[in-house]
Amino acid sequence: MSSFTTTLICPLILITTVGCSSPEPEVSATSNLSTKIERFALTEITADISRLSEGDRKALDKLVEAARLMDKIYIRQVWSGNETLQQKLGADKSKAGLERLHYFNINMSPWSSLDDNEPFIEDVPHPRPQGANYYPADMSKEEFNNWVETLPESEKQRATGFFYTIRRGAGGKLYIKPYNEEYKDLLEPAAQLLREAASLTDNRSLSTYLAKRADAFLSNDYYDSDVAWMEMDSPIDVTIGPYEVYMDELFNYKAAFEAFITLRTMRRRGS
């Protein structure tokens, strides 16, 4: 029997269960990383791909590659210094360094999600930036709101839209930068992978969705691909792109990139 193994794609999902046993003692934010890491169980996620066509199996490989690029975009969205810090941690091959990198990768940031976002690495902002990396680090809510009021209606919609970052230009003036420009270096290869997957799959609805989502990565217009996703009927179920806005704690305007790839369970007759 063939199998497919993958890892969780951003954002980090924590699954808890409630039982009758006594709750485990809380772990403080000052505990060592080994103790923090032990709270997470390494889980292998597998799926039976034996019923997929050869084309769908090849498409699946492309989709996993594209999903990994969503991880990279998410890392960039969390905080302006996140990518550089991840690279710095990756260069430290000591036991402590590997431990720090491991916990960083679990949280996809230097803030511990189970400890009220307490930093576990020195010299990072505390508290965690409310605006993530969607806005200039020195921008206040008041500055943003006052600036938006000066914009024509079409620009107001973009400034407060899901798929646009806010940056500071010459003279410190705020301006709007769409996701397809902000993350061009990662969205272009992701779009290419989706197009390749679309050409490989035997499922017409999946092919249509992937082609339209590839277009959206380059145009910043996600409507048609969202409609195609709702109409999709495929053994491979894919959610990929910008969706949740929880990381924008200033306004809940901006969407974070994520990816989920699942296989539908196909029951045999009589089973």
Contact of 205 with 233, CB cutoff 8 Å: yes
CA dihedral 67, 241, 263, 212 (to 10 degrees): -110
Residue 168 falls within a domain, yes or no? yes
Identify the pLDDT of residue 268. Answer: 53
**pLDDT, tens only, 29-38:** 445 899 999 9
Query: CA nearest 248: which of 182, 190, 161?
Result: 161
**pLDDT, tens only, 219-259:** 999 999 999 999 999 999 999 999 999 999 999 999 999 99
Residue 22 falls within a domain, yes or no? no
23-51: average pLDDT: 76
Counted domains in the chain? 1
Query: CA nearest 186: which of 54, 57, 77?
Result: 77
Residue 244 falls within a domain, yes or no? yes
pLDDT range class, residue 10, cuts 50, 70, 90 = very low
In sequence order, the 6+-apart residues with CB closer than 8 A to the CB of 121 are 85, 89, 100, 104, 110
Give me the domain span that covers residue 60: 4-16+31-263
Spatial separation of the C-alpha atoms in residues 79 and 108, rounded to whole Å: 10
Residue 129 falls within a domain, yes or no? yes
Percent helix, percent strand, percent coil in the chain, to nearest 5: 45, 15, 45
Query: CA nearest 257: which of 58, 61, 67?
Result: 67
Identify the pLDDT of residue 157. Answer: 98
Contact of 199 with 207, CB cutoff 8 Å: yes
**pLDDT, tens only, 115-152:** 999 999 999 999 999 999 999 999 999 999 999 999 99
pTM over 0.95: no
Residue 23 falls within a domain, yes or no? no
Residues composing the chain? 271
Residue 158 falls within a domain, yes or no? yes
